[in-house]
Structure 1
Amino acid sequence: MDPVDTISSVDDVTIRPTTLGFTKQMVNSTTIGILVPYQAQGYRFSVEFNTQLITTYNTLSGSSSGTPSTTPGSNGVPIHVEPRNSLLIFAEAIPTGNLANALVPSSGDIYYPPTGSLTGLENVNHQIIYFQPGVYYMGSNYAPTLSTTVQWIYLAPGAFVKGSFELQGGASWLKITGFGVLSGEQYTYMPDRTNGLNHAQTDTCDSTCVRTLQFFVSSGTSPDLDLHGITLMEPPFNSFVVYANSDSDLNQFSMSVASYHQVGAWYWQTDGLEVYANSIVEDSFFHSNDDVLKLYHSDTSLSNIVIWKSENGPVFQFGWAPRNIINITVDDVDVIHNRIWWEDLKVNTCLINQAPSATDTSSDATADTTQTIQDLTFNNVRSEGMNMCFIRIWALSNLYNLNVNNMWIESWNGMPDSSQQSVFHALYNSVGGQVIIGNEVTDGQGLGLSNYQASATIVTKAANNWQDTSVGRLNFDGNLWNNWNAF
């Protein structure tokens, strides 16, 4: 048996986000008490012990990206410090009254699966599938597509379901609720339905690989999804996806997400959520190894979110294709770890990202000047520890009113300045027309960085500390000088 780690004071234990300020009390050399006061929106936090901390380095060797390692080598630089083991605590308020009635089924057309091996779920024709406390498992070769009758999956506290669910369209509402766990641990990485749920034989299997939660929107329907309380762990691919026959059908899908938790995203392409039109995401936790929150749709609100970011993809993504988007607000986000480490200038990384076209990421001629992104606001985003980069934008659409207010980056990692630079490019369409970026300096209609702080320094144009070799790490195109401001 491994020896038990000991602590000598409360300072040997860190609670992230560090702004929570919870009271810690020594109980003995192996036990600490934490006072978690009640609040209706709950708390999601990581308890980390100094004895478990590991520094990861980029050895600046091998490929153009460098190589991550837990040993620095002769030229290595630190990327980030993370615990080998942490205690994640999701302290959520128990629903009562009308909220409980909406989130916990107590009557109706309910099917209660027996614990143990799950089979035949595709033949269930009840409206509600209710998983009582216990362990359920589908195995590595079973991923059910549920009947159109099924509208609600409830995972009771203490229910641990190893498997996945695909819900079909046709209903006006859908629910995935409860404080149980849905785990993709039994599947291989990228389990492909066309390959017997074995690993996909091609680089991508977007239409055929299993997601832990997958939905299909039927034409002419406008389903609303309540996603509340569950913990989704160890996704084998994208954790959550919605399909439809057309973009117009997809835009009819909306969701309300609260007290949602994603953990154990070890594989690449284990995204968080795509936030669909007219949706709300709040009071949630994401451990993700790709784009954490995809902002591809209008009229959305995200708030009070804690993120543990792994190496692949950015925290916020609104690129890969030209888009018409309006009215997105992100507020109160804590990135408690950020393991991005690439030495070369990746297009799909940083805290905020608009990646160039997925059809050709190296081309400057993939924009659409008939589409526009406007009124996209990020408020109060904090990123603790060492960080790789702030923002990279390849504008594929016209862009107005992109505002970042109160961005706080604790420190930069040890990578070269050239690896950490932020980017702002305005791309062209196929006939040479450039997208239009709002004028920020005179009209306040472009990219505004208000109270952007990095390494304890406020970054502004006036202070002349914004450059890529200065603390701001901004390397924006010179011809966009009037289209952005830092103040």
Structure 2
Amino acid sequence: MLPYFCLLPRLWTCVVVAVLLTKPVTADVVAPGNTTVNNAYLKTWWHSTGEINYQTPVQPGNVRQSHVYSAWIKSTSDPSATYYNSFVYETIPRNGQGQINVPGDPSSVSTEYDSVTIEADIWITMGWTQFLYASDVWVKVSRRGNNPSTASNVIIRPTNLGLTVTDDGAGNVYILVPYRSSGLRFSVEFQDNLYTYHDSCDGTSCDFVQDWHPSGPYYVSGFTSSTPVMGIEPHDALLIFASPFPPSSLVPISTSSSAYVVPQGLVTGLGSISQSTVYFGPGVYYMTGTTHAVLSSSVNWVYLAPGAYVKGAVQFTTPSANIKATGFGVLSGEQYVYQANTQDGYTNNGSNEYSLRMWSGYSTSGVQQTFMLNGVTTNAPPFNSIDFTGDLDTISISQADYKQVGAYFGQTDGTTLYKGSNVRDTFYHSNDDTIKTYGSNIAASNIIIWKGKTAPIIQFGWASRTLNNITVDGVDVIHMKYNSNGSHPSIVGANQVYNYAETQTNTANLANTVSNVYFGNIRAEGIGGNLMRIVPLANYNNVVLENIALDQFSVRTNGIYESELPVFTDTNDNPVRVSGFVIRNFTVGGTAISQAAGNYGPSSLGGLNIAPSLLSSGAVTIVP
């Protein structure tokens, strides 16, 4: 059965919808019986309560399963040469709940803007599968519904991975995934399953429009020069997360007296246990949309085993120096509404203080603590994903092989990097500030980002800070779809003081200095935002942006892709001091941007609108 709007007299639209949107309209529970493996070469897992349902919330004990993709994995070192099943998860915008205020109440329609515009009404989905491996593997992928593919129809992103893709002539594609000690995280994209995002006008504060669903939001009957293309993404995404087997130090012993093994089903009582470890074994757990796990102060380790799927959020209260969240399970926020406010019945009531974080904790004053996050996947965050409160000078993040998916809501940030934090080997699907370099002595590397329309990719603004020794080295941005100037559509950004207008240029604090900063080796594939949009709220010294490549800009409309670096002052009109700010080897579409080439300006290819005084004085230089 085709969606009803195929009956409209727009034959070409009907054909596209018929190809891409012929989907089940009822929720089917997939029967068990799939074969997985757990040996020295490979580990895969399955959920017997997989529910194929791309439209509505799934049952509490079920896991949303991809309605498009199936996957099997074979180790090249396994003598049996057998392909084993690997469960393909799926996440959808608003989690099928609609735009509501009250958890579980579909009649509580909200007018609060949640950054989801057309995605839910055109049934955008994101699927992913994950496995553990000790040698190279082949990943076999097929599409449901008699929808064959060939290798030539597939692009792997990041494209610089250079992975081998083949097919069998029968509709299945095969991807050779080499073993890496840091794992591999990538997107498999079928070129007959792409969606083109168009902006709604030629101004700077517009939104996306669609021509699929006449009674849906943001509908237009056709695209014009006033609705330029702002991004092209898979309609039904498929992500592959290949992880090495973890060391024993990251896997607790479930039978230990220090471990509390959580019963499957409804999660209760974690605030009163005496054990130090909370162990979620394979299975499905849920907390409902009106509570989350506030852990006992004894708990300093949460483990999500491969095959654990936990619908809820976790809050640490421990004073322990070492706090851990490890394993290869999923923590999913799918039962929560947008901006779930813990002090207001988990309703959609936005609050920087009380809206729910998927991972959170309280940093004990005067005690240096480290939060280790390793292996886990976070799905469908309703707000910022990872934040601590308390003494933020004594908490740092140590993060590796972390994955964030289903971040369709706005304000779904990446990890807040406090002083001394280290983040590597991470995949972020994010719809707000993503790499948040808010502390000194931090490093981020080998990051893959799928960016929504809100905020820059690297953010170090919102307040004037003294920062020193920051390195972000190695970022692949596989998608962006910025639609306005509203929140710095940039690779590198530093927003204005929070709750102040960007035009208020006397808000700098000259007592603070940002120094010894390196943002380098960054690639942005496809249509992307500008290089930088920086409000200098502090002095800058020795800031280097190096080896940054953008594929292309969309049609420029009223400066949406214009980089900014103005001169700000304090309240006494004293200007910020800038020295050693270098843009080196910045390219757009393969063309080098530099002062010598004369192609850097706001009306030129580079799109860099930098205060003339900063350029003429040599405070800022743009070199090949």
The two structures have a TM-score, normalised by structure 2, of 0.73
Query: What aligned pairs does 1:385-400 form with structure 2 within 5 A after superposition?
Result: 385-400=526-541
Once the two structures are TM-superposed, the CA of residue 102 in structure 1 deviates from its matched residue by: 3.9
Structure 1 residue 192, shift from structure 2 partner: 1.1
| Superposition pairs of residues 224-303 of structure 1, within 5 angstroms | 224-244=370-390, 249-303=391-445
Question: Which structure's CA Rg is the greater one?
Answer: 2
Matches within 5 A, 1:35-434: 35-60=176-201, 64-71=204-211, 73-74=223-224, 75-95=226-246, 99-105=247-253, 107-200=256-349, 204-244=350-390, 249-342=391-484, 345-361=485-501, 362-416=503-557, 418-434=559-575
Q: Deviations over 1:48-79 (max 9, x none)?
A: 10111011111316x75123123452321110
Cα 1:35–1:429 change in 2 (3 A) is: same
Give distance in 1, aligned partners of 2:268 and 2:308.
17
Deviation at 1:194, TM superposition (A): 1.9
The one-letter amino acid paired with 2:324 is: K
Deviation at 1:309, TM superposition (A): 0.1
Structure 2: 5+ residue stretches without partners: 2-21, 23-144, 212-221
User: Alpha-carbon deviation of 1:426?
Assistant: 2.4
Runs of 4+ in 1 over 4 A off after TM superposition: none
Q: Which is worse superposed, 164-173 or 391-400?
A: 164-173
SS of 1:418 mapped into structure 2: coil
Matched AA of 1:195: D
| Secondary structure class of the residue paired with 1:157 | coil
Inter-partner Cα distance in structure 2 for 1:336 and 1:269:
20
CA distance in 1, matches of 2:251, 2:516: 33
- Between the aligned partners of 2:332 and 2:487, the Cα distance in structure 1 is 31
SS of the residue 2:420 aligns to: coil
Counterpart among 587, 602, 608 of residue 468 in structure 1:
602
Name the SS for the 1:123 alignment partner: coil
User: Contact (CA 8 Å) 1:417, 1:473: kept in 2 or not?
Assistant: no
Q: Secondary structure at the match of 2:168?
A: strand
Match of 1:455 among 572, 589, 604: 589
Length, aligned pairs only = 466
Deviations 1:318-365 (A, max 9, x none): 0011100000111111000011121xx435331110111114123111
| One-letter amino acid of the structure 2 residue matched with residue 78 of structure 1 | V
- The CA deviation string for residues 406-448 of structure 1, in whole angstroms up to 9 with x for no partner, is 001011112336221100012111111111101xxxxxx2x21
1:486 Cα offset (Å): 1.4
Q: Secondary structure at the match of 2:152?
A: helix
Alpha-carbon spacing, 1:155–1:435, altered in 2? closer, same or farther (3 Å): same
CA apart distance, 1:470 = 1.3
Aligned to 1:15: 156
Letter in 2 for 1:101: S
Task: Show the counterpart of 1:442.
Answer: none
Code of the aligned partner of 1:117: L
Distance 2:499 2:441 in 1: 27
1:173-210 deviation digits (Å, cap 9, x = unpaired): 1000000000000011111122111211xxx4111121
SS of corresponding position for 2:271: helix
Structure 1 residues 417 and 205 mapped into 2: Cα distance closer, same or farther (>3 Å)? Answer: closer
Paired with 2:614 and 2:396, the residues of 1 have a C-alpha distance of: 35
AA of the residue aligned to 2:620: W
Match in the other structure for 1:441: none
The amino acid that maps onto 2:619 is N
Distance 2:434 2:298 in 1: 31
Cα distance, 1:251 vs. partner?
A: 1.4
1:79 touches 1:415 (CA, 8 Å); kept in 2? no
How far off its partner does 1:103 sit?
4.3
Unaligned regions of 5+ residues in structure 1, if any?
439-444
Task: Report the 3-state secondary structure (helix = DSSP H, G, I; strand = E; otherwise coil) of the residue aligned with 1:479.
Answer: helix
Q: Distance in 1 between matches of 2:206 and 2:146?
A: 35
C-alpha spacing 1:23/1:417, structure 2 compared with 1 (3 Å): farther
Partner Cα separation in structure 1 for residue 266 and residue 338 of structure 2:
21
Deviation at 1:457, TM superposition (A): 0.4
- Secondary structure of the 1:11 match is helix
Give secondary structure in 1 for the equivalent of 2:474: strand
Structure 2 SS opposite 1:195: coil
Paired letter, 2:376: I
Residue 483 of structure 1 corresponds to which residue in structure 2?
619
Distance 1:45 1:267 in 2: 22
SS class of match (1:81): strand
Query: Are the aligned partners of 1:55 and 1:70 in contact in 2 as well (CA < 8 Å)?
Result: no
Q: Is the 8 A contact 1:42 1:92 kept in 2?
A: yes
How big is the shift at 1:217?
0.7
**Change in CA separation of 1:417 and 1:207 when aligned onto 2, cut-off 3 Å:** closer
Alignment-mate amino acid for residue 342 of structure 2: R
Give the whole-Å Cα distance in 2 for the aligned partners of 1:212 and 1:373. 30
- In the TM superposition, what is the alpha-carbon distance from 1:233 to its structure 2 partner? 0.4
> Does the aligned pair in 2 maintain the 1:14–1:48 contact within 8 Å?
yes
Partners of 1:455 and 1:483 in 2: how far apart?
A: 27
More displaced 10-residue stretch of structure 1: 356-365 or 307-316: 356-365
C-alpha distance in 1 between matches for 2:351 and 2:158: 36
Give the aligned residue type for 2:613: N
* CA separation of 1:486 and 1:153: change in aligned 2, threshold 3 A: same
Q: How far apart, CA to CA, are the structure 2 residues paired with 1:404 and 1:29? A: 47
Change beyond 3 A, Cα 1:105–1:324: farther
Post-superposition CA distance 1:232-291 (Å, at most 9, x none) = 0000111111101xxxx3111112100000000011100011111111100010000000
Which residue type is aligned with residue 330 of structure 2? V
One-letter amino acid of the counterpart of residue 486, structure 2: K
Q: Distance in 2 between matches of 1:209 and 1:333?
A: 29
Amino acid of the residue matched to residue 357 of structure 2? Answer: R
Q: CA RMSD for the aligned pairs?
A: 1.5
